[in-house]
Structure 1
């Protein structure tokens, strides 16, 4: 019978295979630090069983569903709800069979690697997923999900997660996080402040969101000073629930540093519906600098995720909403765009900004030199479309020569797919072990240094970068 996953995957061919294996023997024992992701805190608040294999693995994962859409299949056929309430497939076994029949589409992709590890390690599957094994695998996973050992908190503990950060909208009341705290469960699940809905005028419902922000905080969000004060109140509420970071998804990395008078006038134009050409982009740019100022004050680590053309397909967005696989990378510039922010607060004591990119051409040209100079800047790991074996290797090869590894944030899984978290960390650790082993084989590292570095790459860097 074919083997789903080989234990030497990614570790051989290094020129120092024994070193790579020994490094991974260390890495595989270390806890998981999950400082940035999109898992649902309700899972851990309620600790209810996951419903079925399709709802857990297929339907919520846009890495999976976008591949099927690219081959002419419909989102409805994989259980994705329509905004208009139109008909969708509701039979989980039918969804799973369709998934299994088309599993070959993922050959060679990181999604295939993560899934194979998950099927093998978590659910004990012994045969590769296919049309032939669809029902058998569905029944096996369903049986597992019915057991206490597969409830969210039990899996959290089984995975060896030390801390897991969710990503929560600025207007989220954080009820799930409060419930986790009241439950007495010792798992550390913390929120992350994501204010896009109240910092991006192009976000749907922006004006209503600002009104709601005022209601939640008691501040007058019709004024610039009241609006900024409301942010500070919400940030403090997140910190009270354990948050150590903020997260900002922007089309680009543009920043601005307007005078207080000009910023207030800009905000007033937006609130009165009198925005001029360029005002929306300028406001986003100004708010990145304002968020950096607040991070210098309150110590929250600031993550900036620029360079995604969100909701590229208007029809998919209108029919199904956000995060359905139609966010497409675009070119990004950092050196000039970040200059206003960095000149304003780049030397502020205590400020930490983690930069991500979907434009790999910026690694060696811009990001590594910036992080190698400014004490507030740290490089986030290979992100999203580049969260792959080759993407991780390119990241290490092109940033280490300028920034080293100690100006990087280690690894984060950035996932909605909870069962895949250990697999994603395992792939990253295997890649790093092989990369370090090649450095040892080239006599660029001493072996003892490689063992110190794999602990940092696996856990130490993320702990320090996110103040965990």
Structure 2
């Protein structure tokens, strides 16, 4: 296997010859633009430590919940794929410690990914970034493992070097509101203040029914230096943490609630629920009401401090209680549910939607609301942008349908630019490349139908691939 694996240069472009020819030109105009990765879940310590990746399984398989969930759906156990137990008492199967065995399982099941976006991303990673000579298979698993393991020990494949190799201009991590941000401080001193930036994620603090909520509120008081013994202190502590994140380069907040409800509570009611939660006696109804209230409060704080508010409701987390008990969250068992935006967001938008001090990006895992709810909201309110297809929607077909559903109402310029939303670091360029190819195909269709000039299409392509994300996630002081 000495020949280089060559991917089709026209992959994911339109099949129609006339449109494909136009799409080639439009795609090439933006193909090499730097990547603006403003929403993702790569651990900041990966870059702060900048150690060589341990092995191919640790880099490409175990952290990729798209990949893991497919293999689990076919009968494999998380432990067989190297996913650790959350603690020693969680039980379950012994965790596979041999990365070569994990890699072999992946290669033997390469066929399972046919037709999925995971297949596209993996091909791009393996062929374009790591320069493997052939697609994975049961026969070549060991050969590919050895070559990849050797490559990962090279200095130019360490995390910070890969950031350059992959042409990432700026990368945002997602960080607990309780983070001390020390790793971000080290990286800012090393790389400059706008290369790897944090994102403020307060979900565990605003969901007062969370099993560890009281401990996290105590930790909030510790890291903020603000007494959280009452509701007003809680709000003050959150404001302090937001300021700390801004000082560390943050551009945005991130909120993953089950619903989009933003109904504010009377102050007395919020104070009462907070007291009940501290006493360990809060009802499910009050938990939901407080979460909705805190979304409104987060919007108010964003109007004050300028952090972009990202909202992505509509996912039932940890659908399998067994997997959650054994391995913790983010293991492929978060499942979309129907979500309503129009009425739910009205309290927030009535107060902040027309403000030039507030910016909000709305995401969904339910494509049925694009044309009915989200595009009309983004097409009317100046503070609202419609986020890119992501997480269950980040496939070629769904990306095309997103453009067809949303552009006619919201246009291109009320959207956020692409976000990759990945924990799998090496997949970032593959995900952006797929988005660029789908957008090139959509723009080519408009040109072929004489609905857009070629010069306009190429200018729009640059906006979609690069400029829009920089604008949507502009720093608070800009």
- TM-score, normalised via structure 1 length: 0.97
Q: Is 2:41 aligned against 1:38?
A: yes
Aligned pair partner of 2:359 in 325, 341, 352: 352
Corresponding residue number in structure 1 for 2:97: 90
Structure 1 residue 184, shift from structure 2 partner: 5.0
Structure 1's unaligned 5+ residue stretches are none
Structure 1 residue 186, shift from structure 2 partner: 7.8
Distance 2:111 2:4 in 1: 15
Distance 1:202 1:314 in 2: 16
Q: Is the contact between residue 4 and residue 131 of structure 2 (CA under 8 Å) also seen in structure 1?
A: no
- 1:184-333 → structure 2 map (5 Å cutoff): 188-333=195-340
Q: Is the contact between residue 231 and residue 271 of structure 2 (CA under 8 Å) also seen in structure 1?
A: yes
> Could you say what secondary structure the match of 2:341 adopts?
coil
Distance 1:207 1:162 in 2: 39
Corresponding residue number in structure 1 for 2:12: 10
Structure 1 residue 128, shift from structure 2 partner: 1.3
Corresponding residue number in structure 1 for 2:61: 58
Distance 2:312 2:191 in 1: 34
Corresponding residue number in structure 2 for 1:467: 474
Cα distance change of structure 1 residues 2 and 120 upon mapping to structure 2, 3 Å threshold: closer
Distance 1:289 1:186 in 2: 30
> Could you say what secondary structure the match of 1:6 adopts?
coil
Corresponding residue number in structure 1 for 2:417: 410
Structure 2's unaligned 5+ residue stretches are none
Distance 2:351 2:129 in 1: 48
Corresponding residue number in structure 2 for 1:144: 151
Distance 1:23 1:203 in 2: 48
Distance 1:99 1:89 in 2: 13
Cα distance change of structure 1 residues 455 and 78 upon mapping to structure 2, 3 Å threshold: same
Corresponding residue number in structure 2 for 1:385: 392
Structure 1 residue 27, shift from structure 2 partner: 1.2
> Could you say what secondary structure the match of 1:114 adopts?
helix
Worse-matched range after superposition: 82-91 or 177-186: 177-186
Distance 1:84 1:281 in 2: 29
Worse-matched range after superposition: 82-91 or 180-189: 180-189
Distance 1:395 1:222 in 2: 45
Worse-matched range after superposition: 255-264 or 159-168: 255-264
Distance 1:54 1:361 in 2: 36
Q: Is the contact between residue 257 and residue 344 of structure 1 (CA under 8 Å) also seen in structure 2?
A: no
Worse-matched range after superposition: 199-208 or 81-90: 81-90
Cα distance change of structure 1 residues 52 and 277 upon mapping to structure 2, 3 Å threshold: closer
